[in-house]
Structures are given as structure tokens and as C-alpha cells.
Amino acid sequence: MTFFGLHFQDIVFYALAAILLFAALSVITTRNPVYAALYLVLAFFTAAGIWLLLEAEFLAIALVLVYVGAVMVLFLFVVMMLDINLDKLREGFWNALPIALPVGGLMAVEMVMIVGVRNFGADKVLAPPAHPADYSNTAELGRVLYTDYLLPFELASVVLLVAIVAAIALTLRDRKDSKSMNPAKQVLVKKEDRLRIIKMASVTESTSVEKTNTEANKETK
């Protein structure tokens, strides 16, 4: 089925690609860091859409789940709490330009050399083979991960674990000034530990009121 000579998939691809490029450019051009983070969310979403077109639904959903649902939430969390002075951020622009320009140019050249036009095109990258309806992307991915790529997969998970332990070890310090509590002890607290009932003779109000009245009477006399 074609619309104006374009396949439906092509139309979806170009629409998603246009949004992706716009969002990615906006991430670096917009001045408000909260907007930048939200544009990055949009970029992840459209990238997930393009992966869906490639029939990689597991990866597409995982991208949304991990990057949009967890990573970017924490990004936003931090960015929202920063009080950023935009004028100060732009102050050093012209001073940094002579160094930044060659570095940026070098990076662009490197990227073009790897993902340049020579390596792309319909003849270089073949379309993914069509799968039968009962083909499970998820099951296939799991099979490949736990058989063919078991060692790299386990190594990657160990590296991640080390990173987690390191992050906790770096930030966890025993602060003397912060009060911490022990929930187990809190639960065990009895009434007697906190509450003291004192028995004392009652003080009637009438006697004191009468006294003040008589005093007041004396003064007026």
C-alpha cells in the first residue's frame, strides 16, 4: 500500500526521524535545562518508535522502560532542583570557542568516518527478515543472551555490579551529625518507656478565684 509513492512504513520512519532530529537538536540548543531533559525524553521515545519499525519490540520497550522511566526521571529530579543562572552559563562562550571548535570538528569527522554515507544505504544494510506471527522477539533475545553471548553478558553484569558497589561506597559515609533510627527498637517501645503518669492533689479553681476577687475588692475600696 502506498501513499503518493511512499510506503506507509517510510512515512512513519520519516516522521519519527524528523521528530527525533528536532528533539535531539533542541536538547543542545534550548536554554532551559528542564526543557532540554524533556526533549531528551522525546528523543528516546521516537528512537523507540524507530526500533519498533525494525521489529525489535523488546529493545524498544526496554528503551522506554529504562531510559524514559528511570534514568530521565532521576535526571529531571536533579535538573529541577538546580538554580541555574543562564547568563552565567553563556559567559564563557567566546573564550571556549577556539578550543571547542577543533575538538567538536574532530568528533564530527570521527563520526562521519564510522557512520558515514559510505556505510549506509539500502544495499548495505538489509531489511530485517520477516518473521512468522508466532515469532517471539523476547524469547529469541533471551536465548541468544544466555547461550551465544553468555560470557559478555555476565561480564557486563559484573561490571555494573561493581559500579553499584563503588557508587554506594563513595557516597556512604558515617555522618556524626545526622540522627538515625532503629525501626526494630522503635517497634519494641512500651508505654512505660515514654509515658510517666504523675499523681498529684487536685487544685480547685474556686479558692484561687475567690482570693483574687477579695483582693480586687480591697483595691477598689
Partner 1 sequence: MEWFANLFGSYWPAVEITGWTLIKIVLIVAPLMGAVAYLTLAERKVIGYMQVRIGPNRVGYFGLLQPVADGLKLLFKEIILPTASNKTLFLLGPVLAIAPAFAAWAVIPFDMNMVLANVDAGLLYILAMTSVAVYGVIIAGWASNSKYAFLGALRSAAQIVSYEIAMGFALVGVLMCANSLNLGKIVMGQAGGFWHWYFLPLFPLFIVYFISAVAETNRAPFDVAEGESEIVAGFHVEYSGMAFAVFFLAEYANMILVSMLAALMFLGGWLSPVPFIPDSFLWLLAKVSFLLFFFLWFRATFPRYRYDQIMRLGWKVFIPITIVWIVFVGGMMQTPWAYLFH
Query: Please, is 43 exposed, middle or buried when counting C-beta atoms within 10 Å of its C-beta (0-12, 13-18, 19+)?
Result: buried
Q: Assess contact for 43 and 23: CB atoms under 8 A.
A: yes
- Which residues of the shown chain bind partner 1 in the complex (CB under 8 A)? 1, 8, 34, 38, 41, 57-58, 61-62, 64-65, 68-70, 73-74, 76-77, 80-81, 136-138, 183
Q: What stretch of H or E contains 2? A: strand 2-3
**Set of cell numbers at residue 52:** 519498533
Least Å from the CB of residue 130 to partner 1:
16
Least Å from the CB of residue 41 to partner 1:
7
Closest CA to 141 of 202, 58, 61, 60: 58
Which residue number, 81 or 198, has a Cβ lying nearer to partner 1? Answer: 81
Least Å from the CB of residue 3 to partner 1:
8
Angle formed by the axes of helices 72-81 and 33-53, nearest 10°:
170
Least Å from the CB of residue 150 to partner 1:
16
